[in-house]
Structure 1
Amino acid sequence: MRDADSSVIKMPKPLPDIIKTYKSAKIWAGSSGMDHTGLKVHRGDYITILAKGTINVWPAKGKEYAYGPKALLVFLLGDNDYPVRRYKGPELIEVKEDGGIYLGYRGSEINPSGRPLKPLHFNDDVGSFSVDIIVWKKNDPKLMTKLLEEASLVQPKDGDLKDIVQEFRWRSGGYLALQEKTTEVEKIKKELSIVETKQISEIKKEEKNDAVPPKEEEVQGIKDSDKEKATEDLTEKLQKALQALKELEDTKKKLSEREEKEAQLLARLESMERERSIQSKNLPVIAVAYPNDGISVDSEHVSLYGVAEHEKGISKFEIFINNKPVSLKDSRGLQIIPRDRKRIEFSERIHLREGPNTISIAVQGTEGLTSQKTIFIRLAKKQEKVYAVVIGIDKYKNLPPLKYAVNDAREFYRYLTEVNRVPKDHVWLLLDEEATLDKLRRTLGTLLRRSAGKEDTVIIFLAGHGATETDASSPDGDGLEKYILPINADPMDLYSSAMPMSEVARIFQRISSERLVFIGDTCYSGASGGRTILAGGTRATVSGTFLERLSQGKGRVILTASDANEVSVEKDELGHGVFTYYLLEGLRGKADVDGDGVITVDEVYRYVSAKVPQATGQDQHPVRKGEATGQIILGVVK
């Protein structure tokens, strides 16, 4: 899932008072499981989900398996909102659990916790859904309906939106309106009958039996001369009420027909899944006894053990290592050539390359049905170590505080030590009071330099304020020096109280490691707001050349939260800097697009480059500088 390029409705800016928060997202076919939208809700909140689009869940069968959101879209409201809910339309939903909002599709293929039951079933799907999520400040169906109606007027040619608004109007108050309008029609008819027959004397009798009788003063004293006028007015009033009633009944009928059609689509979808399941039962079966998927080994060779079976017979059996075929031989040294055998036991010695490896076993039955099983193994580089310095500063002594820089650093430290299992004595964590200028210099320039060898990987993470100051000698051509600001930085004296990027560049050159990654959730734009400070009134166009300087040297890669003239922002709803939030999300698995179980610098950069601009309205764009020989691995997906 990603933020939508085009929303269902064009929401006015600033957001109307009735809306607490709002987000548009795009759900693309092929995305299995439930994805976090980035929105958080609380128990008692009211939300509305608007969705349109189609996804074809079996394109090989043609367009007949292209379904809309009501057949496929599912969601979770809150972190403990299990099982997943089916999207029924633009209704008003009360939140029962605190937590995030998650979206997915194909509910029959997702287990109650939100994980896909059969991920491969999603691979061939095509299409997408556009989804708008509105969190309301209060439960007021009239104001909500009015807002959506006004939004639809801006998009008069959007038939889907017109239907969505009409359905929301009905779901939020239609049943009550129908009941009230029916009562109103009956009341007008009774008033009209009394006026026409002058049955004034019967009013008190009718009051005893009528739950909503006309008031006596409304019909008493009607003269013959007034009878015609009263009849005319009541007739006109009745016609309007009947017309409104007809429109409500037509809407009810239309929605009933639509719900019946959706029920048929769901039944058809379930039938399709059963058909797929039956087909899968007829596929060849592959079982691997060793190695387990996702393990890391130290030896260049691994023994692959397993068995392949098919009740109709096996006509073709192949093993691939990193997409290259393996020459297969049995225990006697003879090449394995299947001849309608129903069972093949395999035992192969596989040569691995350094880093991630893919082993695939492909089996074809005599009827042409094919199965494939893939496992991922990582060959760890011998004597390779990881060293890291993690810095986060919120409570500056002489500068405006930040909210989430310390949280960013703490979570990145936790990722390194708990998820990636980097030894804690290999990681220096400097938070707030620990992040003085002296400690920064000693940790980066002395401790890190002494510890990290040529074969080791060095990661430096910084979350905090950045600043620029006029300096005619700057080699970047913009007349500005850029600084990392420690806890005790003085904005009026950066030269003696902060660490200039020229010094950081020298420190990087002194470190012998040939794989050094600097990750900075900070900025140097000179613009107002975010994680940047104006020193001495400086406001100028900042050159990105200083990032080139930092990345000089073999294996130096710089990854920053924003471009040179942009602001790196924090968001309360994320509890992080936007860049760090998506950096961590990518490292925990979302960036692993090739599914090899490891996250490289290139993968995480591609991920944050897509997510951060979408989350900031295109105001912030991460930057990558520098090159390395081979891939630099930042993490392993567990």
Structure 2
Amino acid sequence: MQFKQGRALVIGIANYEEVRRLPEAVLNDARDTADTLRSSSYCGYPEANVTVLTDGQATLEGIRKALADLAADATADDTVAIFFSGHGTRVGLGRAATSALVPYDCKRGDLAGTSLGEVELSAAISAIKASRVVVSIDACHAAGAATLKSDLEGDHDDGLDEGFDEKSLQQLASGTGRVVFASSRATETSLVRKRERNSVFTTALLAGLKGAAVAADDGTIRVFDLFNYVSEAVRQAAPGRQHPIFKASNLEENFPVALVLGGTKTIAPKANCRERQLEQIMSDLFPAGPTDQQIWLRAGGEVANLALGGTGRAQWFSALRLLSQGGGGGSVTRESLIDAALEEFPAHRELGALR
């Protein structure tokens, strides 16, 4: 079987011309992601639909051309996956600062002119006609450079202000069907451990794509389920040190991103099925999100702790993800949320069964 509507652009840069190099794991991340996407045993993307740029291929013009080719080739029925592993940087000062991806030929003396800034990258993503686009960025964030590169020698003073902040990630997710996965919060390091083949984030992403993420009944891996798996796997691998970020502005559905095990249907783990069922039920009962009928407040939570951008479904996804990590504020728990919902819908059997 093939996931015929799948298209991908995979970028990995470790050996920069002027900017300090990164571990070999960065290139492994790109190569392994591409291999998994086009594997008939896993994701099933047609080989011709997967473009890979590593090191010298991933110049600024090379990345621009690959994005333009995606915009020219992708149709409204396609799912497009864009993966970047390498340096991210901030350009400018204070509130005027913007984020950028650092291409192979970026110049230290002209970061703004030789990097791929958030405005240009957002425009390139918006130009892609596919109704489903997933952008995964595995780049070091603020104050985290030392851990990522601690095993490397050489000059570290290259002028980079490491980072790709959440405001910029939200801009990349603008538009219907656009989703961004980022490897860590803006205050964290995107970890690469010594002697490990892949980064912590990409290790989890690859495992999810290879069948560890919850599979839908139609034999596909869907975007919410993939991120749920990645987020939990990273949390367990790096407790308290790295938390992947999910951004979406106008997401209407839990859309498929790949085949699972080459199209083989699998039974999802019971716990994950229950969480997905709770997300669906809460989205149906409170379609405006956790603020609908003040359900989050009534369950003991604090609305200020939530990321409330996007559709109600996207808000519920983020809220329940936060709750599973011990967040949400106040005294809110999974049980208190279900109890608060049952006060409004006492005859809802499926919801009661989740209690």
TM-score bracket, normalised by the shorter chain, equals 0.5 to 0.7
What is the 5 A alignment of 1:115-134?
A: none
C-alpha distance 562-436 of structure 1, shift in aligned 2 (>3 A): same
Aligned partners of 1:468 and 1:525 also within 8 Å: no
Q: Distance in 2 between matches of 1:628 and 1:530?
A: 34
**1:586 alignment partner AA:** G
Q: Distance in 2 between matches of 1:545 and 1:528?
A: 20
Q: Among 73, 79, 100, which residue is 1:483 paired with?
A: 100
C-alpha distance 397-543 of structure 1, shift in aligned 2 (>3 A): closer
C-alpha distance 531-500 of structure 1, shift in aligned 2 (>3 A): farther
Q: State the Cα deviation string for residues 444-490 of structure 1 (Å, max 9, x = none).
A: 1x211100011111110111111112246xxxxx3322110111112
Aligned-residue offset at 1:571: 1.5
Q: Distance in 1 between matches of 2:113 and 2:228?
A: 37
**1:558 alignment partner AA:** V
Which residue of 2 is the match for residue 421 of structure 1?
44
2:89 is paired with a residue whose SS is strand
Q: Among 55, 58, 63, which residue is 1:440 paired with?
A: 63
Q: Among 17, 23, 32, which residue is 1:397 paired with?
A: 17
C-alpha distance 615-492 of structure 1, shift in aligned 2 (>3 A): farther
1:579 is paired with a residue whose SS is helix
**1:423 alignment partner AA:** P
Q: Among 95, 116, 119, which residue is 1:502 paired with?
A: 119
Q: TM-score, normalization: structure 1?
A: 0.37
C-alpha distance 535-557 of structure 1, shift in aligned 2 (>3 A): farther
2:95 is the alignment partner of 1:469: no
- Which has more radius of gyration? 1
Aligned partners of 2:43 and 2:209 also within 8 Å: no
2:27 is paired with a residue whose SS is helix
Which residue of 2 is the match for residue 592 of structure 1?
214
Which residue of 2 is the match for residue 184 of structure 1?
none
Aligned partners of 1:468 and 1:524 also within 8 Å: no
Q: Distance in 2 between matches of 1:521 and 1:398?
A: 20
Q: Among 135, 141, 145, which residue is 1:528 paired with?
A: 145
C-alpha distance 479-529 of structure 1, shift in aligned 2 (>3 A): farther
**1:590 alignment partner AA:** A
What is the 5 A alignment of 1:309-348?
A: none
Q: Distance in 2 between matches of 1:505 and 1:609?
A: 24
Aligned-residue offset at 1:612: 0.9
Aligned-residue offset at 1:596: 5.9
Q: Which structure 1 residue ranges, 5 or more long, are not aligned? A: 1-294, 297-379, 473-477
What is the 5 A alignment of 1:249-268?
A: none
**1:406 alignment partner AA:** L
2:260 is the alignment partner of 1:637: yes
What is the 5 A alignment of 1:123-162?
A: none
Q: Among 489, 492, 516, which residue is 2:133 paired with?
A: 516
2:226 is paired with a residue whose SS is helix
Aligned partners of 2:139 and 2:164 also within 8 Å: no
Q: State the Cα deviation string for residues 137-189 of structure 1 (Å, max 9, x = none).
A: xxxxxxxxxxxxxxxxxxxxxxxxxxxxxxxxxxxxxxxxxxxxxxxxxxxxx
- Which protein has the bigger strand share? 1
The CA RMSD over aligned residues, in Å, is 2.5
Which residue of 2 is the match for residue 553 of structure 1?
175
Q: Among 16, 26, 30, which residue is 1:409 paired with?
A: 30
Q: Distance in 1 between matches of 2:8 and 2:127?
A: 15
C-alpha distance 612-415 of structure 1, shift in aligned 2 (>3 A): same
Q: TM-score, normalization: structure 2?
A: 0.65
Aligned partners of 2:191 and 2:200 also within 8 Å: yes
Which residue of 2 is the match for residue 606 of structure 1?
228
2:83 is paired with a residue whose SS is strand
Q: Distance in 1 between matches of 2:169 and 2:238?
A: 22
Aligned partners of 1:480 and 1:542 also within 8 Å: no
Q: State the Cα deviation string for residues 277-331 of structure 1 (Å, max 9, x = none).
A: xxxxxxxxxxxxxxxxxx89xxxxxxxxxxxxxxxxxxxxxxxxxxxxxxxxxxx
Q: Distance in 1 between matches of 2:160 and 2:178?
A: 33
Which residue of 2 is the match for residue 175 of structure 1?
none
**1:414 alignment partner AA:** D
Q: State the Cα deviation string for residues 518-553 of structure 1 (Å, max 9, x = none).
A: 0111133244325699864748x9751111111111
Q: Distance in 2 between matches of 1:573 and 1:467?
A: 26
Aligned-residue offset at 1:608: 1.4
- Which protein has the bigger helix share? 2
Aligned-residue offset at 1:410: 0.4
C-alpha distance 480-588 of structure 1, shift in aligned 2 (>3 A): same
**2:37 alignment partner AA:** L
Q: Sequence identity, in percent?
A: 30
Q: State the Cα deviation string for residues 544-575 of structure 1 (Å, max 9, x = none).
A: 11111111111000011011221111123431
Which residue of 2 is the match for residue 60 of structure 1?
none
1:619 is paired with a residue whose SS is coil
What is the 5 A alignment of 1:83-102?
A: none
2:146 is paired with a residue whose SS is coil
Q: Distance in 1 between matches of 2:180 and 2:194?
A: 26
C-alpha distance 388-537 of structure 1, shift in aligned 2 (>3 A): closer
Q: Distance in 2 between matches of 1:596 and 1:426?
A: 22
Q: Distance in 1 between matches of 2:246 and 2:161?
A: 25
Q: Distance in 2 between matches of 1:542 and 1:453?
A: 29
Aligned partners of 1:527 and 1:534 also within 8 Å: no
Q: Which structure 2 residue ranges, 5 or more long, are not aligned? A: 150-155, 262-355
Q: State the Cα deviation string for residues 104-154 of structure 1 (Å, max 9, x = none).
A: xxxxxxxxxxxxxxxxxxxxxxxxxxxxxxxxxxxxxxxxxxxxxxxxxxx
Aligned-residue offset at 1:492: 3.1
Q: Distance in 1 between matches of 2:9 and 2:181?
A: 15
1:569 is paired with a residue whose SS is coil
Aligned partners of 1:462 and 1:520 also within 8 Å: yes
Q: Distance in 1 between matches of 2:113 and 2:134?
A: 26
Which residue of 2 is the match for residue 74 of structure 1?
none
